[in-house]
Structure formats: C-alpha cells, structure tokens
A and B are shown apart, each in its own frame.
Chain A
Amino acid sequence: MNYLLSIFIDFFANFGIPKEVVYIIFPIIPFCIVAAALILVVLVLVLVERKILALFTQRKGPNRVGFCGILQTVADAVKLLCKENIEPNVTDRILFSLAPIIAFVPVMVCWGIIPFSSEFDFISISVSSLLFAVIAVIPVIGVILAGYSSNNKYSLIGSVRSAVQVISYELPIMFVILSVSILASSLNIKDIILSQTSMYQVCGWYIFPCFLGFVILFVSSLAELNRCPFDLPEAESELVAGYNTEYSGMRFALFFLGEYAMLFVSSAFITALFFGGFLSPFGFYISEKIFNNNVLAQIGIYFEQAFWFFIKSFLIVFLIMWVRAVLPRLKSSDLLKFSWRILLPLSILNFIYICLFKYIVMIGGLK
C-alpha cells in the first residue's frame, strides 16, 4: 500500500497538488476498487450459481440473454433497480430503511480487510483476522432489524433464526481462527498467507495440518452465510422469503448484494487461512518467468496473485454451491444440536491438537 501511495503522491505532485490533499483523497481509490469488484463478482456469482445448480440437475440454466446467458444477471439487476420501493403501512420507517444498509456496509469493510495481493491490503492492521470475524457478524444486526421492523411474522421468525444461527456458530469459527493464527504465529491475514510459503510449495498450506479446522470453518461459514443446508432464515417452504419478505426494489437488492458478496468474501477468508491465499500453487509466479524480472513482472505479480486468490476462492464457492445442490435443509433444533454438541467440542479438540502440532513438529519442542 505504501508503494502505491508514493506513486500516487508523485503523480499528483506533477500537477502541483499538495501532499495533504492526496492523503485525504487516497482512501477513495480502494473504496472504488472494492465497490466495483464487489458488484462485478456478485453479478458473476449469481450467474455461476444458477449455472452450477442447472449443471447438477441436468438443466441448461439461463441461456437466452446475451451469449449463453451471461447477461442474465445484468438484466435481473436492471429490473430490480427499476422496481418500485414498496413500504408496508405499519412499519418502523427508520429501521426499515436502515436495515439493508447495516446488512450491506460491513460486507464492504470485510472486502477491504482481505489482502487480494501482497500490496493491495486496504485495511491493514495487526489483528485483521479477528477484525474480519467480528465485522462479518454485523450484517446479522441488519437482518434482525429487518425482521423486527417489517411487522410480519415470517420476517421476525426468519431473523430470529438467523441470530440463533450466528450465535451458535461463531464460537467454532473463533477457535479455528485461533488455531490457524497459532500455526502462523500471527493474527494478520497477510502474515498468515505469507507464512504458508514453503519449499514444498502446496504442502505448506495449512489445509494439511489443519484439515479438521477447514471442515469446521467451512460448515460454520455455511451456517453464517445462511446457505444450504443451513438456510433456515430464508426457508421458502415455511417462511415465504424469511427476513426480506417485505422488501422490494433497491432495498432488496442491497440485501441480495450483501449476501452474495459475503459468500465470496467468506470463501476468500477460507482461502487465505487454509489454501495459501494469493500464493501461486507452483511455488513461482508465471509473470516472473514471462517478463524476465523487469518492471512489468513486478506489476504482473500483483495481478497474478489476485488471479490465484480469485481462482481459489471460486473453487470454494463452487464447493458451497455443490453442497447446496446435494443436502436438504436441517431442522432448527438439529442445527443447534449439531453446533453445540459436535462442532464446538471438535473445534476445541482441533485447537489442542494444533497447539501440540505447533509445539512438537514446527518448533521441535520435544527434542
């Protein structure tokens, strides 16, 4: 980031603009990049989800709008934005409008925390993985507000279910993050990623010592994202559409956008913790070989890192969608039982095992 900032200051110095002004306008750039990337990724994700579900159920999926249907989500988005913003009569006006914003804004902050390449970490603090885990649950407050303010029993039940889900699946996530940070000796996501470099390339990824942790984090993320088989807050067959039953138009679009952006950013988080984030799986960067270490290679590496990050995250997203195509929805009580009786003890066991692993294998404590 500092490297980029210096380029930026130099660029504006040519036009005689003082440093202080540049410092103020500099944060706008990451914001714009995040916003653009978020909307693009969501547009792609929705299409990919529909295509993948079609693939698994022997259908063709959207294939009319544009070449092979690639413009379908754009058409849907335009339709959604042009729709009327309907507001039920007896609602809490302020909370009703506030809820989608609260559900969406933290997702953007989460996007800023994830380092998509070794230079582009927009919010860089030493405890960024903890910060991510904390901010990632704030959208639930928006969901609760939405359920409470829309004066609809289905919305309320949906939002209460969502809250219960998050409370019970937050603990296992924290234990997994702790165990990974013990492996990496750091709570910063970038450091965690960089500590996965090893001379055995792929074998350095934390998926190998901590496979159980990956499974726990994956399942818990499914629950936090309200995805199948834990999509109780939006169970169509029981609750109409769950907490967003009363929403339409732009506000619904915000919920929708937040949900899919969170889906991607959670997969990115899993990628960062267990699959080496932006590290290349070959142990070297292709652009390094192509451009022979000149200036282009240095820029190319950043793009290549982002490329690897996106590829790996999309693989996780594929896994999540695959799970959606297979598993039926859980009962509400089973969901809680599964979390408190199986996942939480497992995650504590995993934590102890990782501590021992770190002490014995990585530090060589017994010698």
Chain B
Amino acid sequence: MIKKIYKSILAIIIGHITVLKHAFKKRVTLEYPEVKPLLNDKFRGEHLFDINKCKACGMCQKVCPANAITIIKDENGLNEYSIDYKKCIFCGNCYYYCNFNAIMPSSNFELACSSKESLVITFKKAEEA
C-alpha cells in the first residue's frame, strides 16, 4: 500500500518535471499567414492542367469519385475542361490515372475565395486562327 502511494507520488512529480521541461523547448506554432508550413512532396493541392497535353480521353472524369471534372468535346478533340473545387475532395485519382501527365498536383492550398463561381476553374482550348 505504502509502496503504491510512494510510486504514484513519484510518477506525479516526474510528470510535472517532464512537462516543465517542455516550457523551455522551441515553440512549434507556425504563425500561418506570415510563415507557411513546409509541405510534403506528395501534397495534393490545386491542379496544374496542361491543355496541350490532354487528349480528352475522359479517364479522369470516369475515376473522379466526386464528379468534379467536366470535359466538353467537339470534332477537333478537347474544347473545354473544368474542375469544380466545390466538389473536389483532392483524392488524387485524376492525376494518378492520367496517362499523358496532363494533370498534375501542385502545393498551392490557399483556394479560399469569396464567390461560388470562381471555385469552378475552366480551361479553354486557344482558338487556332
């Protein structure tokens, strides 16, 4: 009984000292807008889309679990490609399955904006004059 009490008191004291040590360590807080966090290489942020590489095969549209991608085709191939960030869950399927590396991830995660419309990003084929 006494041994048990002694042990628990010792444990409490050691715990307090351990916590006190943390007070003198370096802070881990990042003050976000001024200091950006370091991201992993595989971070999935905003998509980088290269319209010249895209063959409009429709694979990304098929694998997207959130139905965020719309492809509009005409007789020349791709006409319009749009990603809806209201729906996108950043699962990464679209660039994993793209055979032509037309769509790639980027580390930009600051996508907040003030209107619904600007969350739908549309790429259009440049008109060949």
Residues of A at the B interface (CB closer than 8 Å) are: 54-60, 63, 322-323, 325-327, 342
Residue count of chain B within 8 Å CB distance of chain A: 14
Bound complex: CA of A63 vs CA of B27, how far in Å? 13
Which one, A59, A63, A326, A342, contacts B19 given CB within 8 A? A326
Measured between beta carbons, the chain A residues less than 8 angstroms from B3 are: none
Bound complex: CA of A56 vs CA of B22, how far in Å? 6
A59-B28, A59-B29 given; 14 more Cβ-contact pairs under 8 Å: A55-B23, A56-B19, A56-B23, A57-B22, A58-B25, A58-B27, A59-B27, A60-B27, A60-B29, A322-B20, A326-B12, A326-B15, A326-B16, A342-B5
Min C-beta distance of A366 to chain B, whole Å: 29
User: Contacts A326-B12, A327-B12: A58 and B19 contacting too (C-beta < 8 A)?
Assistant: no
Which one, B19, B25, B26, B31, contacts A325 given CB within 8 A? B19
Bound complex: CA of A28 vs CA of B16, how far in Å? 44
Min C-beta distance of B66 to chain A, whole Å: 32
Measured between beta carbons, the chain A residues less than 8 angstroms from B29 are: 54, 58-60
Measured between beta carbons, the chain A residues less than 8 angstroms from B22 are: 56-58
Measured between beta carbons, the chain B residues less than 8 angstroms from A57 are: 22
Which one, A56, A58, A327, contacts B20 given CB within 8 A? A56
User: Contacts A326-B15, A327-B12, A327-B15: A60 and B20 contacting too (C-beta < 8 A)?
Assistant: no
Measured between beta carbons, the chain A residues less than 8 angstroms from B15 are: 326-327
> Does A322 contact B31, Cβ atoms closer than 8 Å?
no
Measured between beta carbons, the chain A residues less than 8 angstroms from B26 are: 58
Of B25, B26, B27, chain A has the most CB atoms within 10 Å of the CB of B27
| Smallest CB-CB A-B distances: 3 pairs | A60-B29, A55-B23, A326-B15
> Does B25 contact A60, Cβ atoms closer than 8 Å?
no
> Does A322 contact B19, Cβ atoms closer than 8 Å?
yes
> Does A322 contact B28, Cβ atoms closer than 8 Å?
no
Interface string of B1-19 (1 = CB under 8 A from A): 0000100000010011001
Min C-beta distance of B38 to chain A, whole Å: 17
Interface pairs (7), CB distance under 8 Å: A55-B23, A58-B22, A58-B26, A58-B27, A59-B27, A322-B19, A322-B20
> Does B16 contact A322, Cβ atoms closer than 8 Å?
yes
Bound complex: CA of A56 vs CA of B15, how far in Å? 12
Measured between beta carbons, the chain B residues less than 8 angstroms from A63 are: 31
Measured between beta carbons, the chain A residues less than 8 angstroms from B12 are: 326-327
Bound complex: CA of A54 vs CA of B29, how far in Å? 10
Measured between beta carbons, the chain A residues less than 8 angstroms from B28 are: 58-59
Chain B stretch 66-121: residues in CB contact (< 8 A) with chain A: none
Bound complex: CA of A323 vs CA of B23, how far in Å? 14
Measured between beta carbons, the chain A residues less than 8 angstroms from B20 are: 56, 322
Measured between beta carbons, the chain B residues less than 8 angstroms from A58 are: 22, 25-29
Measured between beta carbons, the chain B residues less than 8 angstroms from A325 are: 19
* CB-based nearest A residue for B15: A326
Bound complex: CA of A281 vs CA of B115, how far in Å? 63
* CB-based nearest A residue for B25: A58
> Does A60 contact B19, Cβ atoms closer than 8 Å?
no
Measured between beta carbons, the chain B residues less than 8 angstroms from A55 are: 23
